[in-house]
Each structure stands twice: as structure tokens, then as C-alpha cells.
Amino acid sequence: MISTAVALRCLARCGCINAAISTRGMQEIGLLFALEPGIQALYPPGERRREALLRHAGHSNTHPYMMPLYLGITLSLEVQIAGGSLPGAAMGGVSRTLSTTLSAIGDGFFEGALLPCWSLACVVFALCGQIWAILALTGLLVIGMVAFRIGIFFYGLRHGVAALQWLKRLALIDWAGRVKQANAFMLALLLGMTPWTVHTFPWLLFMPALLSAAAAYAFAGKARLPRIVLWLTGVAAMSFLDATLARA
């Protein structure tokens, strides 16, 4: 088992992984840089250390926010390989599957839901003149993200591949859908706060339209309808309302 000091060194280097990204190996160089303290602690200088480094000298790419979990699980597997309870050949298949899975989860939740939610909330607060709310929300998000990265690293280091069962129970993809519903609500609210919307689309009509859009989004999610159907329905409804208001 690697010491806490070595684990912290690996975790600190984890934030530098994308600084050495390349078009051929993607995060290969950065991953080796982050793993180096752990590899040095587990293997003495010689052939075994060289083999351990070569196991990770290939194409590697996963989402930056999920990288600490990937790094923790990888170090946990290296501990088992160093102890002789796991063959070194098992690392290749696990690494490829793990990086792809974590990348998909990270893209769906963080890039597709959480960060747009933060952006929309900041714009709404800015239009309301609540600058301190923007600073507070951003600060909480930064603190939460740092705590999340530290937590998943040590959880992966302690539990290894079994940490994926916890990740499955966490259901980040399902939460991404809920956050996207909130994003749709905030986007509609943002449109209602803009000057051109206030003058051309009265609040008396805007609020029922907002509630109808939220209900339609929830129904489309439960019925698993393609998003293009909801989008086309919304465009048709807006065109009809625009024509109705123009005649009025």
C-alpha cells in the first residue's frame, strides 16, 4: 500500500494532466507524470518499474473531473500487481474500459448539465443585479468540485474497481437529466427577463408558456421521446402564438 504522502503527491499532480496533452497519446504524458510517485514507491529501480511505466505509456483520455477516480483506481490496481495478487496484463483492458466509461459520465454530467446550470444561474443573477450571489455560487461550486475530486480519488484508491459500484449508485447520468430540466426552466426564465420578450410577449402569457414547456420536457424525458420532437413542437407553438398576437 502506498503512503498518504505519496497519494497526495499523485493527487496534486492530477491537476496538471491536461497541461501535457497531445494529439497522439492525449493524456498519456500527464497520466505518467501523475502516476510516477506511486510507481516509484511500489517498485524498486529496475525491470519491474520499467514494465509498470510501460503499462500506462499509451493512449489515455478521460474527463478531467473524473480523472482523480481513474487515477485512484489505477493506483489501487498497481498495488495489487506489485503484491502479486493481480497479473500486470490485466491492467490494459481495465484501463481502456475505465477511461471510456468515466469520460462519458463526466461529459454528460459536468459539461452537459452542471456547468451550463452554473452559467445560466450567473446570468439570471447578473440581470437581477445580485453580484454577490454570483460570487457565492461560484465559490460553493469550486469548493464542491475540489472536495469531490479529493473524495473520489481516495475512494478509488481504497476500494479499487469496486468503487464503480458506488459510482453506479450515485447515478450521475440520472442527475444530469434533472439538472438539464432546471436548465430549461432557467433558460425560459432568462428569455422572459430580456427587454424584447417583456414588450412582445406579455407575462400573462409567458408564465403559462413556461410551465407548459417544463411539463413537456418532463413528459418527453419519461416517455423517452427524441428531443427533436420537443424542439419542433416548441417552434410550432411559438410560431402559432406569434401569428395570433400579430393578428390581435
What are the structural domain ranges in the chain?
1-173, 194-248
Run means of pLDDT, 10 residues per run, the chain, 248 residues:
85 82 77 86 84 80 87 87 76 77 86 88 86 92 92 89 85 83 77 57 57 63 61 63 52
Residue 60 phi, psi dihedral angles, 5° rounding: -145, 135
Residue type, 207: M
In this prediction, residue 1 carries a pLDDT of: 73
| Cα(221)–Cα(152) distance, integer angstroms | 29
| Cα(179)–Cα(191) distance, integer angstroms | 18
In this prediction, residue 135 carries a pLDDT of: 93
Residue 88 phi, psi dihedral angles, 5° rounding: -65, -25
Closest CA to 67 of 30, 94, 109: 30
